[in-house]
Amino acid sequence: MNLVFWGTQAHCGTSANMRAVAGMLEMMCADRQTLRGADNKPVHFRLRDAGSGGSPGRADIWKQADLLVINVSRERECMERFFDEHLMLARRSFVLLSSFPGEGTGSVDELVHRYRLGEEACGMIGENAAYYLAAGRGRSKAFVRQEYKMPKSLRNEQFLRELKKTTERIVRLAECRTAECRTAQSATLSLPEIRQTGKSDKSANRKIGQIR
């Protein structure tokens, strides 16, 4: 399953957020042996950083994405501009609010109640200076692993709890989008058969008309 992370602008924490989710996925898989989809088959995840800026509707992004995770700044002006331009696209994706310390006041509640996103289609990774310090040193996954079972502080415990909730939402939405895609593909593949059946039905209808 391909999860593509894209940021609306450079300071959305796209790379740091992707690595945090990747670290949590590893720990969740280790706890449960493996994550399983709706068909009870093992689910394998590939995470890709698509950078920031430009249009989130770019073909190179969507071509490889089972789910697009859009990283949005919590600054009020940035949120309003993004949803004014890309509201319909946001409703087909997972919206992840940036969690850099002191950056804006936007919240998940606002995404749900003001912009009408589903609760399972948005989230936020909590502010944590220790995590971003580790991320800056290339130790994002190591931080998540070390803090997962025995957090060193209440702040780290809250950060991991929020990260886990957000990661679980991303997984559930990705599974839902993949199932929808498979259903659509099955319907498309069956169209020639329906047309062929339609021909025989017309022939049968002509015979019934003659009998009448």
Residues 6+ apart with CB under 8 A from 122: 94, 95, 96, 97, 108, 111, 112, 169
Round to whole Å and give the CA distance between 175 and 27.
Answer: 19
Q: Among 3.40.50, 3.60.90, 2.60.40, 3.90.380, what is the CATH number of 2-211? A: 3.40.50
- Give per-residue pLDDT as tens, 145-173: 999 988 999 999 999 999 999 999 999 99
Contact 83, 55 (CB under 8 A): no
- Give per-residue pLDDT as tens, 52-104: 877 766 666 777 788 999 999 888 888 898 899 888 889 889 999 976 666 66
Round to whole Å and give the CA distance between 64 and 46.
Answer: 10
**Statement: residue 212 has pLDDT above 50:** no
What integer pLDDT is reported at residue 207 of this predicted model? 40
Mean per-residue pLDDT over the chain, rounded: 79
Q: If phi over 0 gives left and psi between -120 and 50 gives alpha, with beta otherwise, what is residue 196?
A: alpha
Domain ranges in the chain are 2-211
- Give per-residue pLDDT as tens, 115-125: 999 999 999 98
- Residue of 1 and 158 predicted with greater confidence: 158
